């Protein structure tokens, strides 16, 4: 994903502050977003907790899922940011799934909707966090 006319330093707070995360992912976000802290993300069907492993000066953010759905626990979520002209390129990775279960595919699609919400928040000032997000069918 790329964000126009927004430097990495302006993208970084959307990934490293409770208010920033609540603006595009889920309004029910709380916890400690500092390195070593745990962020709690809650959605209508449930949620998960992520330990903040790394927040490098507007270049990289990395979390590890420490509580939530069994398929997620132990996985990592990583964001890498780099400037390319007038654009900030946001590279996203959710890695470490023990197996490719149906829920993984659902989550991949859902992540895409939240990445578009992040892009909208950064470019227009308004994201579509849960519960105002795009709804897709859940495998259950």
Q: What is the DSSP letter of 69?
A: S
Quote the pTM value: 0.91
The answer to whether residue 106 scores a pLDDT higher than 90 is no
Tens of pLDDT, residues 90-103: 999 999 988 777 77
Q: Is the CA virtual torsion 21, 62, 68, 34 positive or negative?
A: negative
**Which carries the bigger pLDDT value, residue 34 or residue 56?**
34
**Which carries the bigger pLDDT value, residue 17 or residue 102?**
17
130 in Cβ contact with 98 (< 8 Å): no
Provide the percentage of residues in the chain whose pLDDT is more than 90. Answer: 76
Residues contacting 105, CB < 8 A, separation 6+: none
Query: How much is the pLDDT for 123?
Result: 94
Mean pLDDT of the chain: 91
């Amino acid at each position: 994903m790329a964000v126009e006319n927004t430097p990495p330093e302006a993208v970084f707070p959307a990934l490293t502050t409770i208010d920033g995360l609540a603006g595009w992912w889920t309004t029910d976000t709380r916890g400690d977003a500092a390195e070593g802290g745990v962020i709690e993300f809650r959605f209508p069907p449930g949620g998960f907790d992520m330990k903040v492993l790394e927040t490098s000066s507007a270049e990289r953010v990395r979390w590890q899922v420490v509580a939530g759905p069994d398929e997620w626990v132990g996985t990592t979520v990583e964001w890498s940011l780099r400037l390319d002209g007038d654009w900030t390129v946001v590279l996203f990775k959710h890695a470490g799934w023990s197996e490719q279960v149906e829920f993984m595919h659902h989550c991949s699609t859902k992540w895409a909707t939240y990445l578009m919400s992040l892009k909208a928040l950064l470019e227009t000032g308004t994201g579509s966090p849960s519960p105002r997000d795009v709804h897709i069918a859940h495998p259950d």
